[in-house]
Amino acid sequence: MPRTPHSTPSIYARNRPHRRTPALTTAAATAAAFTATLALLATATPAQASPPTPIAASTARSYLSTLTVKTEGSSDGYSRDKFPHWITQSGTCDTRETVLKRDGKNVTTSSSCAATAGSWYSEYDGATWTASSDVDIDHVVPLSEAWKSGASGWTTTQRQSFANDLTRPQLIAVTDNVNQSKGDQDPAEWMPPRAAYACTYLRMYVQVKHYYSLSVDSAEKSAIQSGLSGC
């Protein structure tokens, strides 16, 4: 049975009636303002983070024109193990937990860095989840797609860097079954079901392919060109 996303209620500011108060000295007024600021910071809801901002659509179109167009390579020899991922990033935090914390809202973690609470908005389908187990970390350019586009000739160290890249917009927290429906498909075969994210997704995808000098096949390039034309 399909799961129902958990929605997060919006927080609205309320106007309070003005009340007359005795005049404060300058020092007292400053202290009161400082205390009020601290209270506001303590109750404020942190903004949800996101992957690194991708290149502009015009830049994506330019980058796309420079990518090598060739028939997709074979998947022979491919294994996810050849792309060591979820490596340690800092302390006890691996790549997955780092992205969960970056892309989530009000995320709390255990001493081992596992996310124990928070909420995650999935840009791919517009769903919000409150359990990290409902969230996958998607490789925007799938590992298998990368393998067939040139990564089969990389070293294991290079593939590890690709699979754990937090600098480029290559990793994003999304609904698990949406990520699983994507699999290793390129934009000619799969696009995020939430159309409003299509342009951003294509910009991310092209940026990663360009940075890593990965090729595109003709159908893939055509689909990306078509999608970017509306950005």
Summarised one tens digit per residue, pLDDT across range 46-55 is 445 688 999 9
Domain that holds residue 161: 49-228
88 bridge partner residues? 94
Determine the average pLDDT of the residues in 25-38: 38
| 146: DSSP letter | H
Task: Give the model's pLDDT for residue 45.
Answer: 33
Answer yes or no: is pLDDT of 221 > 80. yes
Q: Give the C-alpha separation, 204 to 34, whole Å.
A: 41
More confident residue, 229 or 36: 229
Query: Positive or negative CA dihedral for 227, 200, 124, 171?
Result: positive
Q: How many domains does the chain have?
A: 1
Cβ neighbours for 31, distance < 8 A, ≥ 6 positions apart: none
Residue pair 127/175 in contact by the 8 Å Cβ criterion: yes
- What pLDDT is attached to residue 49? 62
Residue 9 has pLDDT above 50, yes or no: no
Rounded Cα gap, residues 50 and 22, in angstroms: 46
Is the confidence at residue 34, as pLDDT, over 60? no
Q: Does some domain include residue 90?
A: yes
| Cα 12–Cα 16–Cα 20 angle in degrees, nearest 5 | 160
For the chain, where are the E strands, in sequence order? 88-90, 93-94, 104-109, 115-121, 128-129, 135-139, 171-175
- Answering whether pTM is above 0.95, one says no
What does the pLDDT read at residue 50?
Answer: 80
Tell me, what's the pLDDT at 166?
Answer: 97
- 21: in domain: no
Of 193 and 5, the one with more pLDDT: 193
Gap between the Cα atoms of 83 and 162, Å rounded: 8
Q: Is residue 20 part of a domain?
A: no
In a domain, residue 53? The reply is yes
Contact assessment for residue 190 and residue 181, using Cβ atoms and an 8 Å cutoff: yes
Task: Kindly state whether residue 35 falls inside one of the protein's structural domains.
Answer: no
Longest dimension (CA), the chain: 79
| pLDDT tens column, 199-215 | 999 999 999 999 999 99
Residue 37 pLDDT exceeds 50: no
Give domain status of residue 185, yes or no: yes
Q: What is the pLDDT of residue 55?
A: 98
Q: 93 lies in a domain?
A: yes
- Residue 210 lies inside a defined structural domain of this protein: yes
Q: Is a pLDDT exceeding 70 seen at residue 90?
A: yes
Q: Is the pLDDT of residue 40 over 50?
A: no
